């Protein structure tokens, strides 16, 4: 008999972890603060749709959900850049349609994962918020929305309760996790481009749309039923900033000036701007993810990151698969398995945290910059010239399951090569490709891809 494992949080990462552990024969009991979204609808969620990439798909494949989610996901071939003069251009992510990302509804994904967890035998209790832990007796305390308490004996607990994790707070009360949260000085607001009257997408469906404007930007991801979730990212303080764009009228004026082609597509701009909260963003660093074999944090609870690489959930799904594999082989030695999990995952979480921060500058600013575009064009040429040897960092992060830390390290070397080769150059034809070959051979080893 495998022992019981308690999960706190049945969001994206918690529900996948519950499914994978139950499939491997553990007795899984999960507690989720929200009501069951399959009965009551999906409440909240910080972004309405998400970009799913290879690491995320891998987790779904292992859970047996690839076909179900595949039917709901919308392909995004690249970034559709909307310039201030309203002309657009598609910057492909990959080499062709075999290298794309997918937009998927957070609610639909969560519900599919909950179904998979229950089908595998996990028990999920909804409307149960973790309110504290007594580590001496390994007892967790939950409260429901009527204020009623219940205790739950949990010799082994995994916290997948998100960036504001209550389990993390309870663990910190017991020992120092060396936690720091670095807020980003930018926040976000979600808006919507509805489907056209009579159905259909108002703009190109198979792309992630970006309106880069230097220090701020809008993005839009397609939803399967024809709408787009639009997110405005902007400084908290500045001009424009959430402190100066305060009213619905301010928002309309900003869109009329800077996002003029998007404005007519967002009929409820004023209403949504006033009603939707301004989200905060930041990076969570934690030096200790576990209390010996008793408690472990995964997903955003251990390593929340900024969303600009579209990898938070993808990274969390990778956590879930790695943890399930480790526990399957752990012979119930949870302390060793949790330590090994942190040892393997933390360098990767740190690497994607850094790359996600860098990607914000790239999305809001560099995609409209000539030198950046030259470096990207050269990168693609070198990738075709030296396949498996020079692989764009975005491809390693998004289309492969190479450790993020490897993508980060190689990315630094590659970026140095691209900078040197494009120094003082205006077009691709001026780049010395023989020199490029030599640099790649000297500085990079071929990848086992």
Ligand X SMILES: Cc1cc2nc3c(=O)[nH]c(=O)nc-3n(C[C@H](O)[C@H](O)[C@H](O)COP(=O)(O)OP(=O)(O)OC[C@H]3O[C@@H](n4cnc5c(N)ncnc54)[C@H](O)[C@@H]3O)c2cc1C
Per CB under 6 A, 46 contacts ligand X: yes
Query: 212 to each of 169, 219, 404, how far by Cα in Å?
Result: 37, 8, 26
Distance CA 169, CA 121 (A): 29
- The nearer residue to ligand X, 212 or 310, going by C-beta atoms, is 310
3-state secondary structure 276-291: CCCEEEEEEEECCCEE
Binding of ligand X at residue 342 (CB under 6 A)? Answer: no
Token digits of residue 172: 């910190």
CB of residue 322 vs ligand X: minimum separation in angstroms? Answer: 14
- Neighbour tally for 405: CB within 10 Å: 16
Residue 230 near ligand X by CB under 6 A: no
Q: 57: which 2 tokens? A: 């798909």
Q: Based on CB atoms, which residue is closest to ligand X, 145 or 332?
A: 145
Percentage helix, strand, coil, to 5, in the chain?
Answer: 40, 20, 35
Which of 281, 339 has the CB closer to ligand X?
Answer: 281
Q: By CB under 6 A, is residue 363 in contact with ligand X?
A: no
H-type helices in 186-330, by residue range? 248-258, 269-275, 300-303, 312-328
Q: Is 223 in the site for ligand X (CB under 6 A)?
A: no
The interface mask with ligand X, positions 148-187, x = CB under 6 A, is ------------xxx---x---------------------
Residue ranges in 72-111 that form contacts with ligand X under rule CB under 6 A: none
Report, in Å, the least distance between residue 54 CB and ligand X.
Answer: 11
Stretch of residues binding ligand X (CB under 6 A), selected from 30-38, 71-79, 321-329, 405-413: 30-38
Question: Measured from the CB of residue 166, what is the shortest distance to ligand X in angstroms?
Answer: 3
Reference 124, options 2, 16, 3, 46; nearest CA is 16
Binding piece for ligand X, criterion CB under 6 A, among 28-36, 119-127, 241-249, 252-260? 28-36
Among 130, 202, 356, 378, binds ligand X (CB under 6 A): 130
Burial (CB count within 10 angstroms: exposed 0-12, middle 13-18, buried 19+), residue 429: exposed
Considering only residues 5, 7, 9, 408, which one is a binding residue for ligand X as defined by CB under 6 A? 9
Which one among 212, 222, 240, 312 touches ligand X, defined by CB under 6 A? Answer: 312
- Integer Cα distance of 223 and 221 in angstroms: 7
Cβ-count burial 217-251 (b if 16+ within 10 Å, e if not)? bbbbbbbeebbbbbbbbbbeeeebbbeebeeeeeb
> Which of 59, 222, 310, 392 is the binder for ligand X (CB under 6 A)?
310
Q: Token digits for 301?
A: 């609870």
To the nearest whole angstrom, how small is the minimum distance from the Cβ of residue 78 to ligand X?
15
Residue 190 pairs in a beta bridge with 231
Give backbone dihedrals phi and psi of 147, rounded to 5 degrees, phi first: 90, 5
Among 5, 13, 21, 245, contact with ligand X (rule: CB under 6 A): 13
Residues that bind ligand X (CB under 6 A): 8-14, 31-34, 46-47, 50-51, 129-130, 160-162, 166, 188, 231, 279, 299-301, 307, 310-314, 316
């Amino acid at each position: 008999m495998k022992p019981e494992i308690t999960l706190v949080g049945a969001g994206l990462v918690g529900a996948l972890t519950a499914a994978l552990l139950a499939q491997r024969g553990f007795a899984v009991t999960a507690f989720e603060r929200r009501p069951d979204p399959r009965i009551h609808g999906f409440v909240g969620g910080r972004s309405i749709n998400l970009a799913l990439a290879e690491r995320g798909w891998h987790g779904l494949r292992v859970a047996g959900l690839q076909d179900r989610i595949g039917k709901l996901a919308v392909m995004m071939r690249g970034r559709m850049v909307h310039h201030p003069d309203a002309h657009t251009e598609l910057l492909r992510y990959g080499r062709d349609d075999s290298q794309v990302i997918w937009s998927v509804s957070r609610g639909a994904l969560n519900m599919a994962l909950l179904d998979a967890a229950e089908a595998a035998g996990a028990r999920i209790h909804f409307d149960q918020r973790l309110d504290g832990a007594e580590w001496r007796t390994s007892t967790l305390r939950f409260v429901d929305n009527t204020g009623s308490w219940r205790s739950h004996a949990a010799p082994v607990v995994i916290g997948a309760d998100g960036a504001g994790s209550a389990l993390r707070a309870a663990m910190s009360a017991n020992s120092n996790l060396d936690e720091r949260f670095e807020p980003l000085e930018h926040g976000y607001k979600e808006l919507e481009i509805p489907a056209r009257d009579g159905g259909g997408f108002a703009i190109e469906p198979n792309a992630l749309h970006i309106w880069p404007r230097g220090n701020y930007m809008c993005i839009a991801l397609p939803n399967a039923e024809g709408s787009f979730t639009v997110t405005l990212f902007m400084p908290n303080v500045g001009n424009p900033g959430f402190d100066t764009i305060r009213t619905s009228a301010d928002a309309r004026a900003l869109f009329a000036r800077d996002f003029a082609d998007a404005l007519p597509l967002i009929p409820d701009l004023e209403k949504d701007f006033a009603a939707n909260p301004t989200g905060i963003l930041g990076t969570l660093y934690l030096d200790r993810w576990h209390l010996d074999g008793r408690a472990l944090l995964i997903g955003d609870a251990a390593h929340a990151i900024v969303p600009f690489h579209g990898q938070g959930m993808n990274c969390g799904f990778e956590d879930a698969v790695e943890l399930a594999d480790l526990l399957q082989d752990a012979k119930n030695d949870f302390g060793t398995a949790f330590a090994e999990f942190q040892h393997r995952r933390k360098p990767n979480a740190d690497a994607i945290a850094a790359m996600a921060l860098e990607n914000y500058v790239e999305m809001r600013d560099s995609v409209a910059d000539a030198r950046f575009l030259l470096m990207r064009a050269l990168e693609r040429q070198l990738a075709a010239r030296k396949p498996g040897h020079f692989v764009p960092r975005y491809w390693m992060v998004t289309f492969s399951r190479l450790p993020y830390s490897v993508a980060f390290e190689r990315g630094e070397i590659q970026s140095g090569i691209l900078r040197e080769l494009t120094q003082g150059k205006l077009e691709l034809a001026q780049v010395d490709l023989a020199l490029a070959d030599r640099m790649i051979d000297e500085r990079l080893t071929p990848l086992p891809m």
